[in-house]
Amino acid sequence: MENQALGQVTSERLPVHFPDPIQVANCYQCGKCTAGCPVAMHMDVAPNQVVRLAQLGEWEKALRSRAIWECVGCQTCSTRCPKEVDCAGVMDALREASLARGMAAPGRYFVVAFQKIFLENIHRNGRLNELELIGHFKVDVLLHTGRIPFLFKDAGLAPQLGKRKKLHLIPGRARDRGVVERIFERCSGERKA
Amino acid sequence: MSRIGVFTCWCGENIARTVDVDEVAKRVAELPGVRCSLNYKYMCSDPGQAIVREKIATEKLDGVVVASCSPHMHLKTFRKAAQAAGLNPYLVEMANIREQCSWVHHDRVQATAKAFEIIRLSVEKARNDAALQPIRVPVTRRALVIGGGVAGIQAALDIADAGHEVVMVEREPSIGGKMAGLSETFPTLDCSQCILTPRMVEVGQHPRIKLYSYSEVEKVEGFVGNFRITIRQKARYVDVSKCTGCGECWIICPLKRNPSEFDYGMGMRPAIYIPFPQAVPARPVIDKSQCAKLIRNGCGLCEKKCKAEAINFKDEDRLVEEAVGAVVVATGYKLYSIAKSQPKATLAGYGEYGYGKYKDVIDSLQFERLVSASGPTGGVLKRPSDGAIPKSVVFISCVGSRDNAKGLPYCSKICCMYTAKHTMLYKHKVHDGQAHVFYMDIRAGGKGYDEFVRRAIEQDGAQYYRGRVSKITQEGGKLVVRGADTLAGMPVTIEADLVVLAAAMRPADGIEELAQKLNIGCDEFGFLLESHPKLRPVETNTAGIFIAGACHSPKDIPEAVAQASAAASKVQVMLAADELTREPEIAAINEQTCAACFTCIRTCPYHAIDRAELRTPRGAFIKNTARVNPGLCMGCGTCVSVCPSKSADLQGFTDQQVYAMVESLA
């Protein structure tokens, strides 16, 4: 995995390979994904246009778009798609490709950092270790931005998360590490390629 | 004094709710000439009709007025009832007190008064009715089919299989039309020739089909059931009865490099030729504009070579006359010519696409020939300029279609489908090639059609761009296509080896002249007009003339075939009996008072009035007069309104009746 400085140009038209079940050619541009997307209004390129760029092979535009980082991965688009195109999967694959080529949109540092740290966390533990994630993320952002107050942002939410058992003090780990490794291998074909 | 019976209907609550039917019946009974007046809940029901029948018999009625709904609804019903009781059906009138009274009024007193007035008018009309007899027209039980494409073939075979003789006239040397030149057909990708040629052979061999190929309709006379058609058999210079179709002549002909009409200029043919090997009839013609013998009395090799002695350089056009009872027009379409020079200035243009300038910009029918197994390249897709196999092909739809600036605002309907088909055929032939399609909308309504287009995109990898192409230029052996993709909101530039333009469908050449000969209508684009867009889709406004296929509007093969079968079944109904019966409510001209100004002849929209002469029994000339042809008159009344001497009148709706009705209101 080669992570380069964000925003640096590495490739122009290198194709992005989507995991097998995603067929962007199937999309007929009805726009239902955009219509249902809760964050589409914050995107520079609408979700259906992201898929369109993928159809056209306009990777540069797709990988540099802010839209792929605005996507919260709620899967509404994929669930509702009449052509069963996994739009959220497309977004995810594009995020990975964007990272791998150092083309992530500038000014999206928080999201990009979270994406990386979240996936590393899962990769390491096989399931989410919330405390470790919070620690890593906060420190990473602090080192990058030097904003100390950020360390305590959202800290007030911790008791509530604990009450709802969303915050595990003693994290569990996946027993079969091999399975986790295989999952990551299959999903991150792009990162290796 | 007449004996009119008036029957007022309640129409359940429909009339009775607003109109006091008892009061109306009572007042009507006192009108002059009314013998009896009754009302009943449902006059159109069996017991209601029984009342009408019974009263006609017991009261010896000589006229009937039914006050109920519209004549469109039930006039026929009550005429039949009257006829069953022995009364001439044309002595029955209807007073519409439902649509024109009860349904549109609320005030019961006023509505009742109005219903009474409406009935009073009808009583006056009935008092002046004359007994009429239906018109009987003899029928020639043969049909003419103009055009030998797939629609014409279908219509001819249907009619001939039903037992009637068919005369088929085809302008080209062979039947088969556009479909014979297609490579494969959507959405099944079955070979066009494989499904059409057996039908063509069937036409050629059918004992009841008389085929005039290389012929045109010269003149049409007569009327429904009795058309006389003059057919011009163009000089073929080959005696079809002697020729065996052996092919010696077109093999020996030295003038081999003439652009083939059948291949749309993609291939070459000799001066003596058959358009394609499966032609019906498989007899050659000589192109007189190219044959050296006919131009300057040279060559003549084919004549020497022909063992059957079928070549006749002295051949001339011949006129033949055929009598038929019905006509099916199936003259088909042509593609909008993209070339810059056009007969109509509004159609000129698309110079920006470089058609005619760049050899590798072709239209869709030319592409069909290039990928057809029977085409000039034997099914190998080679581009016209250098014979290279194109690795990138751009297809542009809506070229001409939906272009108001070109005066063609309509959708040509089939281009979306055949363009999808083209991309598939291309991909199946050139596996490493990429097809690009520029479209505005994909219109794929039909059984299996949308699935077909999606297959082209999803499985065969055609790249579709929603947008029009603005310009095509040639740069270094490549055609540079500049278009847009409105879905991504960006301009697109593609370097192509071949560009295929899906040009608009237009009616075949000469359609307007033919429509004039047949006295049928065509729209502003030249497509023939049907009588009613929903309920009479294959009839024209001239009785006995039917339309089928793309001469009516852009159509694909299944639709053209369906319409042809529909037209054929209409023809069969007409030809089922020796006589046609028509309603007698048509114009009649008082030949004694006719001033022979012939204004009526000029104004009649159906050409139903002719000049005639009045003569004494011994044959001495008395005067000229106009005379209505009862086979053609549709009873529109135009002649009645224009006749300055008041000699024309509409039977069953005479001026006298109208005046009597108006006066009764005074």
What integer is the mean pLDDT of B33-40? 95
Return the amino acid letter for B217.
V
Task: Tell whether B319 and B390 lie within a shared domain.
Answer: no
Task: Tell whether B286 and B175 lie within a shared domain.
Answer: yes
Q: Does B489 touch chain A (CB under 8 A)?
A: yes
Please give the ipTM for the structure prediction.
0.70
Mutate to test the interface with A, among B458, B459, B466 (most CBs of A within 10 A): B458
CATH number at residue B43: 3.40.50.960
C-alpha–C-alpha distance, residues B331 and B567, integer Å: 14
B92-128 pLDDT, tens digit per residue, is 999 999 999 999 999 999 999 999 999 999 999 999 9
Task: Tell whether B193 and B279 lie within a shared domain.
Answer: yes
Q: Does B492 touch chain A (CB under 8 A)?
A: yes
**Based on C-alpha coordinates, what's the Rg of chain B?**
32
Half-sphere exposure (Cβ direction) of A62: Cα atoms closer than 13 Å:
28
Task: Tell whether B151 and B181 lie within a shared domain.
Answer: yes
3-state helix, strand, coil in chain A (%, to 5): 60, 0, 40
Task: Tell whether B342 and B487 lie within a shared domain.
Answer: yes
Catalogue the E-assigned strands of B10-82: 34-40, 63-68
Q: Does B460 touch chain A (CB under 8 A)?
A: no
Contacts of A53 in chain B (CB under 8 A): 488
* Res. A183: pLDDT tops 90: no
How distant, in Å, are the alpha carbons of B25, B32, B127, B158, B192 from that of B2?
18, 8, 6, 52, 69
Residues contacting residue B314 through CB under 8 Å, at least 6 positions apart: none
Residue in chain A lying closest to B460 (CA): A25
Nearest CB among B458, B487, B490 relative to A29 is that of B487
Of B575, B599, B628, the domain-final residue: B575
Q: What are phi and psi of B418, to 5 degrees?
A: -70, -25
Contact B626, B615 (CB under 8 A): no
Nearest CB among A25, A26, A56 relative to B485 is that of A56
Q: How confident is the model at residue B623 (pLDDT cuts 50, 70, 90)?
A: very high
What integer is the mean pLDDT of B143-170? 98
Mutate to test the interface with A, among B423, B487, B493 (most CBs of A within 10 A): B487
How distant, in Å, are the alpha carbons of B230, B239, B261, B270 from that of B281?
21, 12, 17, 18
What integer is the mean pLDDT of B148-161? 98
Angle at B558 between CA B557 and CA B563, to 5 degrees: 100
Sequential DSSP letters for B245-293? ---HHHHH-S---EE-TTTTTSSEE-SEE-SSTT-SS---EE-TTT-HH
Task: Tell whether B492 and B403 lie within a shared domain.
Answer: yes
Residue in chain A lying closest to B457 (CA): A25
Q: Does A32 touch chain B (CB under 8 A)?
A: no
Q: Does B457 touch chain A (CB under 8 A)?
A: yes
Question: B581 has which bridge partners?
Answer: B136
B 7-26 near A (Cβ less than 8 A): none
How large a percentage of chain B has pLDDT more than 90? 88
Q: Are β-strands B333-335 and B505-507 bridged in parallel, bridged antiparallel, or unpaired?
A: antiparallel
Residue in chain A lying closest to B454 (CA): A26
B549-602 pLDDT, tens digit per residue, is 999 999 999 999 999 999 999 999 999 989 988 889 999 999 999 999 999 999
For position A127, what pLDDT does the model report?
86
Give B488→chain A minimum CA distance, Å.
5
Q: Does A30 touch chain B (CB under 8 A)?
A: no
In B496-511, which positions are buried (b, 16+ CB within 10 angstroms) versus exposed (e)?
bbbbbbbbbbbbbeeb
Q: Does B86 touch chain A (CB under 8 A)?
A: no
Q: Inter-chain contact A56–B466, Cβ cutoff 8 Å?
A: no
Task: Tell whether B363 and B272 lie within a shared domain.
Answer: no
Q: Does an H or E element contain B230, and which? A: strand B226-233
C-alpha–C-alpha distance, residues B589 and A138, integer Å: 104
B394-420 pLDDT, tens digit per residue, is 999 999 899 888 889 999 999 999 999
Nearest CB among A25, A26, A49 relative to B487 is that of A49
Residue in chain B lying closest to A24 (CA): B458
B460-495 pLDDT, tens digit per residue, is 999 999 998 989 999 988 999 998 899 988 889 999
Give A52→chain B minimum CA distance, Å.
6
Residues contacting residue B61 through CB under 8 Å, at least 6 positions apart: B3, B4, B5, B35, B36, B55, B87
Q: Does A49 touch chain B (CB under 8 A)?
A: yes
Contacts of A58 in chain B (CB under 8 A): 488, 490
Sequential DSSP letters for A15-52? PPPPPTT--GGG-----HHHHH-TTGGG-SS-HHHHHH
DSSP letter assigned to residue B539: B
Give B467→chain A minimum CA distance, Å.
13
Mean pLDDT, rounded, of chain B: 94
Task: Tell whether B299 and B371 lie within a shared domain.
Answer: no
Contact A1, A123 (CB under 8 A): no
C-alpha–C-alpha distance, residues B362 and B239, integer Å: 37
Number of A–B residue contacts, CB under 8 Å? 28
Q: Which of B52, B87, B25, B91 is nearest to B584 (CA)?
A: B91
Count CB atoms within 10 A of the CB of residue B134.
12
C-alpha–C-alpha distance, residues B650 and B125, integer Å: 13
How distant, in Å, are the alpha carbons of B606, B617, B624, B639 from that of B595?
21, 21, 8, 13
Mean pLDDT, rounded, of chain A: 84
CATH number at residue B339: 3.50.50.60
Contact B66, B49 (CB under 8 A): no
For position B457, what pLDDT does the model report?
96
DSSP letter assigned to residue B664: H
In a domain, B657, yes or no: no
For position B581, what pLDDT does the model report?
87
For position B508, what pLDDT does the model report?
96
Nearest CB among B458, B465, B488 relative to A25 is that of B458
Domain holding B623, by residue range, is: 587-650
Q: How confident is the model at residue B349 (pLDDT cuts 50, 70, 90)?
A: low
Q: Does A31 touch chain B (CB under 8 A)?
A: no
Task: Tell whether B328 and B340 lie within a shared domain.
Answer: no
Contacts of A61 in chain B (CB under 8 A): 488, 490
Task: Tell whether B39 and B185 lie within a shared domain.
Answer: no
Half-sphere exposure (Cβ direction) of B47: Cα atoms closer than 13 Å:
5
Q: Inter-chain contact A53–B461, Cβ cutoff 8 Å?
A: no
Residue written as token pair 């009516």: B552
Domain ranges of chain A: 24-100, 109-192
Task: Tell whether B152 and B68 lie within a shared domain.
Answer: no
For position A13, what pLDDT does the model report?
52
Full strand arrangement of the beta sheet holding B326-329: B209-212, B165-169, B142-146, B326-329, B545-547
Q: How many domains does chain B have?
A: 4
Count CB atoms within 10 A of the CB of residue B572.
17
A 7-26 near B (Cβ less than 8 A): 23, 25-26
What integer is the mean pLDDT of B35-39? 95
C-alpha–C-alpha distance, residues B274 and B12, integer Å: 70
Nearest CB among A23, A26, A56 relative to B488 is that of A56
Which tokens hold the place of B271?
A: 């001066």
Q: How confident is the model at residue B447 (pLDDT cuts 50, 70, 90)?
A: very high
Which tokens hold the place of B428?
A: 């199946």
Sequential DSSP letters for A108-152? -HHHHHHHHHHHHHHHHHSS--HHHHHHHHHHHHHHHH--GGGGG
B474-483: which pairs have CB atoms within 8 A and are 24 or more residues apart?
B474/B354, B474/B358, B479/B354, B479/B358, B479/B360, B479/B361, B479/B394, B481/B394, B481/B396, B481/B436, B481/B438, B483/B396, B483/B438
In a domain, B135, yes or no: no
In a domain, B187, yes or no: yes
Residues contacting residue B44 through CB under 8 Å, at least 6 positions apart: B9, B68, B69, B74, B77, B78
What integer is the mean pLDDT of B236-262? 94
pLDDT greater at residue B171 or residue B338: B171
Q: Does A56 touch chain B (CB under 8 A)?
A: yes
Nearest CB among A23, A25, A52 relative to B488 is that of A52
Contacts of A26 in chain B (CB under 8 A): 454, 458
Task: Tell whether B80 and B55 lie within a shared domain.
Answer: yes
C-alpha–C-alpha distance, residues B598 and B233, integer Å: 35
Nearest CB among A23, A52, A61 relative to B458 is that of A23
Return the amino acid letter for A94.
L
Residue written as token pair 């409510």: B585
Residue in chain B lying closest to A62 (CA): B488
C-alpha–C-alpha distance, residues B276 and B37, integer Å: 75
C-alpha–C-alpha distance, residues B516 and B633, integer Å: 18
Residues contacting residue B651 through CB under 8 Å, at least 6 positions apart: B130, B132, B584, B585, B586, B587, B588
Count CB atoms within 10 A of the CB of residue A13.
8
Give B184→chain A minimum CA distance, Å.
25
Return the amino acid letter for B22.
D
How large a percentage of chain B has pLDDT more than 70? 98
In a domain, B581, yes or no: no
C-alpha–C-alpha distance, residues B326 and B144, integer Å: 6
Contacts of B457 in chain A (CB under 8 A): 25, 28
Angle at B6 between CA B1 and CA B12, to 5 degrees: 175
Of B575, B598, B616, the domain-final residue: B575
CATH number at residue B627: 3.30.70.20
